[in-house]
Amino acid sequence: MTASIATNQTILVVGGGISGMTAALEAAECGKQVILVEKTPVLGGRTARLYRYFPKMCHPTCGLEINLRRIKQNRNVRLMTMTEVTAVSGSRGNYSVTLKVAPRFVNENCTACGKCAEAVSAEVPNPWNYGLDKLKAAYLPHNMAYPQRYVIDASIVGTPEGEKAKAACPSGAVDLEMKEESVTLQVGALVWATGWRPYDAAKIQPYGYGRFKNVITSLEFERLADPQGPTGGKILRPGDGKEAKNVAFIQCAGSRDENHLRHCSRICCMASLKQTQYVREAFGDAGKSTVYYIDIRAIDRFEDFYQMVQKDATVGFVKSKVARIAENAENGNPVLHGVDTEGYHRYATEHDLVVLAVGMEPEITGVILPDDVILDSSNFIEGSKDQGMFGAGAAASPLDVNRAVQSATAASLRAIQVIRKTASTEAV
Amino acid sequence: MTINQNAANQAAVERYRNNFLKEVEANVEEGHMVKMCMQCGVCAGSCPLGNAWEHSPQKIFMMIRAGKRAEVLGSDSMFMCTSCYNCMVRCPRQLPITHIMHGLANYAHRLGLAPKGQPTRDFATLFWNNAIKRGRVNELMLTLRHYFRGGLVSGIKEAMGMQSIGLGLLLAKRLNPMEIFGGHGVKDLKGFHAIIAKAKEIEDRKKGFTA
């Protein structure tokens, strides 16, 4: 691709989730030039993979649609998908950023007609459903995908499958000759909106994630409840496809634990309370949810949501961090072992499905960032020494969507200040 | 309870009044970490012998904070710990649970409040007295004392039951019958006893057992 025209008056936003989109739009709508880079082929990040938001229980598609329309309408935002930052040099007001652009193998002629997907038979694990199902190797990530452009998976390029996709395309959009590119840009300020990822639940050995099929993460549960998900919105457990009417939610799966994540991930209590309502939605009074918790942290204004769920007769609460999970070999049911804090009763309780409310780990954990970036003890971004780079949203702190948007707006304002100061210094 | 123990116990009660947590913090190994417990229950649920004893570590820590001095120091739970360390490696707050349990057992024992006739406590006492006598463990005497702790009849019964193992050890030269006459000791026995006495003096001072 041709190098974008960028100057030290440009803001680079890294990450195209809800925080990155917000940060980019807020600056662009103030008339600033913004380049928004995203690692995956689509915008929306983890927000696009949620079924409903708390506390209003509305669908994320609604909020995303508004933001996508703002992006389409705004000429100041330049979007680069499948792009990663590989190096940053320079300082506040004058950074030089190197980007790596992975090939999509589909150019802008794509009309999203879907003929390539029909032609191809190879399949790849579906990252938008956390690998719970498979996707054709020529795919549109999901219905809300922006840009609405197909992707040819690199695994079929150079194979007869790739040629089939190319032959099927009526618009000549499939370009199997695309190569990885490196682009260098000059920018004035950076917003790191790199987001979060679920903590690797397999590391919490006593819970048996990965060993027991009916132990899943809260994010996988979102996909089960979603009509766009692998089960078409039916809550069927992965072990045997049986309806999971008796669901256990385990809080602090990884969070508030010196052996795993030392911080409280803040959102998980509300996420589980929300998910108990998915069970109710699916099965009515026949559903049963049990929340195992240390203490419920319904952050900020959400205490009323907690009280609403407490009144729900299908939802039970057990004050205890589950010590370990075993599996009933006969029916595949997970059995939860522990001691509850209210009375110190030892329990061994069987459920159809266990949902681990996994903690938020910064996506940049394990990534080498510029020396200047300051991280806290959990790898959340606090800012940079020269105050020209900012963390936004879940990259800066474990936040829900609402607070991530606030955080991104704040980061955007700080980036605008850097640009303004750079401009006035140059004018002198 | 000896007079010395009783005095120490009275002094501790007087000094810490209703704040048993402070007493534990000052006198029990790693006691200052008790307040870090957030009552999640992972230790209690992870203990392989958890259903065999009355008070799990979680419960003991809450009892300490609730000021239940007599119940905690009279509990046999600390003596039931097998030091498997499962609770300690799983504790989300990294409390040294095993060490605290041992520290509590030691403190209760020294105050003479630990349960009488508790087998682990009795054997530990037996072992200690045996070992410091000559600086080396006299295994024959330790075994005999242990077998005959309940009297002559039960001792003979227990010894007869272990006969084949004893003979095997004898043939393999792992058990010397001559040890019955006192056994071998360390070279500088006087020096060894001086070390133990000094160590006891330091510990007594640290834990408030000196009058």
Angle at A124 between CA A118 and CA A127, to 5 degrees: 110
First-to-last C-alpha distance (Å) of chain B: 16
Say if A338 falls within a structural domain.
yes
3-state helix, strand, coil in chain B (%, to 5): 70, 0, 30
> Going by C-beta distance under 8 Å and a sequence separation of 6 or more, which residues neighbour residue B9?
B1, B111, B112, B113
Say if A1 falls within a structural domain.
no
Say if A141 falls within a structural domain.
yes
Question: In this structure, are residues A183 and A3 in contact, taking their beta carbons and an 8 Å threshold?
Answer: yes
Residues A33 and A97 in one domain: yes
Backbone dihedral angles phi then psi of residue A139, each to the nearest 5 degrees:
-145, 155
CA dist A22 and A96 (Å) reads 23
Query: Which conformational region is residue A413 in: left (phi greater than 0), alpha (psi within -120 to 50 degrees), or beta?
Result: alpha
Q: Does A339 contact B44 at a Cβ distance shorter than 8 Å?
A: yes
Residue with tokens 């695994």: A155
DSSP A121-187: --EEE-GGGTTSSEEESEE-S-TT-SS---EE-GGGTTSHHHHHHHHH-TTS-B-TT---EEEEEEE
Q: What is the pLDDT of residue A2?
A: 43
For residue A320, the chain B residues in CB contact (below 8 A) are 40-41, 45
Domain that holds residue A233: 199-359
Burial of A37 per CB tally in 10 Å (0-12, 13-18, 19+): buried
Digit-by-digit pLDDT tens for chain A (428 residues) are 444 567 889 999 999 999 999 999 999 999 999 999 999 999 999 999 999 999 999 999 888 999 999 999 999 999 999 999 999 999 999 999 999 999 999 999 999 999 999 999 999 999 999 999 999 999 999 888 999 999 999 999 999 999 999 999 999 999 999 999 999 999 999 999 999 999 999 999 999 999 999 999 999 999 999 999 999 999 999 999 999 999 999 999 999 999 999 999 999 999 999 999 999 999 999 999 999 999 999 987 899 999 999 999 999 999 999 999 999 999 999 999 999 999 999 999 999 999 999 999 999 998 888 989 999 999 999 999 999 999 999 999 999 999 999 999 999 999 999 999 988 777 65
Tokens of A400: 């829900």
Residues A304 and A218 in one domain: yes
Task: Tell me the sheet residues that pair with A87.
Answer: A98
pLDDT at B18 over 90: no
Residues A300 and A413 in one domain: no
Q: Does B46 contact A206 at a Cβ distance shorter than 8 Å?
A: yes
Residues A272 and A339 in one domain: yes
Residues A338 and A216 in one domain: yes
Residue in B closest to A336 by C-alpha: B45
Residues A210 and A222 in one domain: yes
Q: What is the pLDDT of residue A1?
A: 42
Please tell me if residue A20 touches chain B, with a CB cutoff of 8 Å: no
Residues A374 and A349 in one domain: no
CB burial of A335-358 (b: ≥16 within 10 Å; e: otherwise) equals bbbbbbbeebeebebebbbbbbbb
Identify the three-state secondary structure at position B135.
coil
Residue in B closest to A205 by C-alpha: B90
Residue in A closest to B52 by C-alpha: A346
Residue with tokens 């691709």: A1
Chain centre distance of CA A211 = 24
Residues A266 and A185 in one domain: no
What pTM does this model have? 0.90
Please tell me if residue B199 touches chain A, with a CB cutoff of 8 Å: no
Identify the three-state secondary structure at position A26.
helix
Q: What is the pLDDT of residue A4?
A: 52
CATH number for the domain formed by residue range(s) B3-116: 1.10.1060
CA atoms A217, A223, A229, A235: torsion sign: positive
Chain centre distance of CA B165 = 27
Residues A32 and A155 in one domain: no
Distance from CA of A368 to the nearest CA of B (A): 28
Residues A331 and A417 in one domain: no
For residue A337, the chain B residues in CB contact (below 8 A) are 45
Please tell me if residue A335 touches chain B, with a CB cutoff of 8 Å: no
Residues A235 and A332 in one domain: yes
CA dist A214 and A195 (Å) reads 28
Tokens of A288: 């049963």
Residues A79 and A128 in one domain: no
Residue in B closest to A337 by C-alpha: B45
Domain boundary among A324, A343, A359: A359
Please tell me if residue B41 touches chain A, with a CB cutoff of 8 Å: yes
By C-alpha distance, which of A269, A383, A280 is closest to A317?
Answer: A269
Say if A34 falls within a structural domain.
yes
For residue A321, the chain B residues in CB contact (below 8 A) are 40-42, 45, 92
